A and B are shown apart, each in its own frame.
Chain A
Amino acid sequence: MTRPDLVIVGAGPAGMAAALAARDQGVRDILLLERDQHLGGILNQCIHPGFGLHQFKQDYTGPEFADQYIREVEAAPEITVSLRTFAARFAPDKTLTCLRPGRVDAIRARAVIFATGCRERTREMIPIPGTRPAGVFPAGLAQKMMNLEGLLPGRTVVIAGSGDIGLIMARRLTLEGARVQAVIELQAESRGLARNVVQCLEDFSIPLHCRHRITRIHGQNRVEKVSVAAVDDDLRDRPGTAFDIPCDTVLISVGLIPENELLEMAGAAMDLKANTPVVRELGVTSLPGVFVAGNAGNIYDLVDSVTRDSERVGQKAEAYLRGVA
């Protein structure tokens, strides 16, 4: 059993920013756990620009933004990084059980920050009826396929939902030679940033159908088409508006769900609807010495806001450690 002062679960922007802030306040024994083989989290697959405009007054890509933190984390002797490490259990006494290749460790921290990010809402959560062929992807998975693995998910694409990842992927797929037929949005306007609607859809003449929904996915083995209908303000299908769009791929970009299953496991007070821990102030959960930072606590639009707030959570963790020391 190792007993570091502070354990941070997740080394995306939130986890790294919190770790550096805690270090700056004087915490000397920080363990940063990351399940991937690299630091940086989801930023690594966000190769588009628009990151760091507030924080650094620079227009960085995701990996460039992450790199600002990665260099500092790697250079910090107070921060131990453990890659390919998966935190599988969390107990109320602040013991984390972690698996990594060749090892299972119990780690009992004096304070813990969960910077576990979020997952995508899936087709299954909306839910879209129909068949379950190949070619239906969460937009973030499609982004990972394209930007990290060099795989093109499909050639003719319909995007369900106009979240930022979906908009970014509409442009990305178009640039890689796929044809994006339409973006279908249930709400009256896009859920994404205005600049993304302009730069990712309008600039490429990709139609955005607001107040519409995909009523059915068709195709036995691979997606063949989707049925779409307009909906009224109560989100009921408007009769006579149904039409089909042929496509081999459907991307789902209908929102994000904070990942807090470990906190829930340990009995933290939860807002089950948002899947976030109940916090009495930024980052402070109902369990003493247990904190939440970044998208796990609240879904952010901009990474600049994530790192800004996560630094404050890192400082709170240090204050807690000082208080109990």
Chain B
Amino acid sequence: MKPYDILIVGGGVIGTAVARELSKYKIKIALLEKEVELAFGVSKSNSGIIHPGTQTPPRSLKGRLCLAGNRLLRSWAQELGVHFKEVGELIVAFREEERAVLQRIQQDAESLGVLGLKIVDRAWLAEHEPNLNPEVKAALYAPSAGIVSPYRLVYDLAENAQQNGVDLFLQHPVSAIRPGRGYFEVVSSGSTVFRARVVINAAGLYADEVARLVGIQDIVIHPRKGEEYLLDKKRENLTRHLLFPLPTPTSKGILIIKSSDGNPIIGPTAEPAQSKEDLGTTDAGLAKILASVQKMVPTIQRRDIIAYFAGLRPVAGDDFIIRHEAALPGFINVAGIQSPGLTAAPAIALMVRDLVRTSGLTLAPKRRFQRHRKPSVHLFSRPLSSARALVRKDPAYGDIVCRCELVSAREIRDAIQRGARTLDGIKFRTRAQAGRCHGGFCTTRIMKILAEELGQPPEALTKRGPGSEIIAKSRDHDPA
């Protein structure tokens, strides 16, 4: 039996943001994640947009939390050493009569409290977004939109939470939750039993299943699939802003996204998924995305695409569901966190903190909370002059493993020492294998470093956890 004050189910951006916020207080916290690494669920497919608060209904919970999150995230990013960049967004209109739609979006956003919005004309666009289709007549400009690396945000949140005493349990799916008097027993990974006074359900796509373990039936997650396609880093300066078409009833449309790593992203689609594992991309999805983004920026070519993936949004109705279950004191649901969930995450964490207080747990601030985390080093984001000093300090920074994205052996080792266990985990943390050769040149070298750091034979190494072993056998070992 492992006794805790708080147990968080789910190691995505919501679970880790809540863990980091609650680690400011004198309580014992456990975070359980079913996958082999954090951010391997909904968060890994996030496009990294920090939304300004446009296109969320002004009276909705997600609108309020998006706006608050956009403000909070800046200080969080600074404390965690995550690169946040305010690039601004443009919602574009191709017809004069669509100006009225832009005005309505502007009014809604302003009533929510979004600042700095303005409708810009053709001349402004020609100067500030030169590759935009000249047929765009006007756009709504929201300067407070930004970008961040979604996975690095999760990893850095978790690392900071761990610095402040949070216990992390990976490969710990929850199979049963038994309410007791003033506590819950949470059964995980077969027979491990945790005991906690408060359980926070941040299980993403599986939040409905976790809620059902305690008899809550009214949360149903309908996964909505989004395919996204990454462009070569050579096209980094394709756009200066995030580009949005006019929104549709179910989504913000198909976008041109600047990413924190430099590679533009185009997408996503929005289609009902067949299952919670339905992560396939399709010919139809690609065709739809290309047609849509080429309308906004005609120079985008199919050959610019170097990678693609699909993600699932955990949709549960129109709004976020964030509530303390009065009938089950101590059980807090954080479900249906679709877009703009990444933006809202810090504000959601504060809201959950208040719900924890409501549940009766006393939150006394720690005298020593380590607010700051030493930023990770990414050679690709530095000028080579500063790389020189790094290489002089540690020769392994000059040992380039991934040449497409300029990632050194030292960064790979750092990523593993900080928690990467798989090739995908290394990719998300460092970008190694994420470039135009797609790991063709660096995979074997990364496998060697991973095998060495983990003390495992090569056939035990995986892409993303058990079942995704990379090779069948090695010369020295034959598991078959």
A interface with B by C-beta (< 8 Å): 35, 84, 86, 88-89, 97, 99-104, 119-120, 122-125, 127, 129-135, 138, 140-141, 144-145, 148-155, 178, 215-216, 220-222, 248-249, 261, 264, 273
Contacts and interface: CB of A to CB of B under 8 A. Distances in A.
A179 B279 CA distance: 28
A153 B406 contact: no
Nearest to B399: A101
Nearest to B448: A149
Interface string B414-440: 000000000000000000000011111
Given A104-B391, A120-B437, A134-B462, A153 B398 contact: no
B286 A129 contact: yes
A129 B472 contact: no
B464 interface: yes
A125 B306 contact: yes
Interface residues of B, number: 57
Given A134-B469, A220-B467, 4 more contacts: A101-B395, A138-B438, A222-B467, A222-B469
B463 A133 contact: yes
B303 interface: yes
Interface in B438-475: 438-441, 443-444, 447-448, 458-459, 462-475
A89 B470 contact: no
Nearest to B409: A101
Contact of B398 (A101, A125, A135, A222): A101
7 contacts: A35-B400, A99-B397, A119-B441, A124-B305, A131-B280, A150-B475, A153-B470
B396 interface: yes
Contact of B471 (A100, A104, A151, A264): A151
A104 B285 CA distance: 44
A221 B468 CA distance: 4
Contacts of A89: 384
B234 interface: yes
Of B277, B391, B462, most A-chain CB atoms within 10 Å: B391
B171 interface: no
Contact of A129 (B283, B408, B471): B283
B306 A124 contact: yes
A202 to B, nearest CB: 25
Contacts of B282: 129
B96 interface: no
Contact of A86 (B400, B448, B468): B400
Contacts of B400: 35, 86, 88, 99
A119 B467 contact: no
Nearest to B380: A88
A84 B401 CA distance: 10
B388 interface: yes
B476 interface: yes
A134 B399 contact: no
A195 to B, nearest CB: 25
Contacts of B303: 125, 273
A100 B436 contact: no
B403 interface: yes
Contact of A132 (B279, B388, B408, B469): B279
Closest 8 CB pairs between A and B?
A150-B475, A102-B395, A221-B467, A134-B463, A221-B468, A86-B400, A134-B468, A104-B388
B398 A103 contact: yes
Contacts of B472: 152-155, 178, 248-249
B381 to A, nearest CB: 14
Given A104-B384, A104-B398, A150-B476, A124 B277 contact: no
A104 B391 CA distance: 7
A149 B306 contact: no
A155 B384 CA distance: 43
B281 interface: yes
Contacts of A144: 444
B398 A151 contact: no
B443 A104 contact: no
Contacts of B439: 141
Contacts of A216: 280
A122 B403 contact: no
B464 A221 contact: yes
A124 B436 CA distance: 9
Contacts of A129: 280-283, 285-286
B216 interface: no
Contacts of B377: none
Contacts of A273: 303
B465 to A, nearest CB: 7
A35 B280 contact: no
B119 to A, nearest CB: 36
A224 B396 CA distance: 38
A248 B467 CA distance: 11
A273 B303 CA distance: 8
A281 to B, nearest CB: 27
B234 A261 contact: yes
A88 B400 CA distance: 9
A220 B464 CA distance: 10
B451 to A, nearest CB: 11
A273 B444 CA distance: 29
A151 B475 contact: yes
B369 interface: no
B387 interface: yes
Contacts of A215: 283
B444 A132 contact: no
A36 to B, nearest CB: 9
Of A134, A150, A154, A220, most B-chain CB atoms within 10 Å: A134
B413 to A, nearest CB: 13
B76 interface: no
Nearest to B279: A131
Contact of B391 (A99, A134, A140, A141): A99
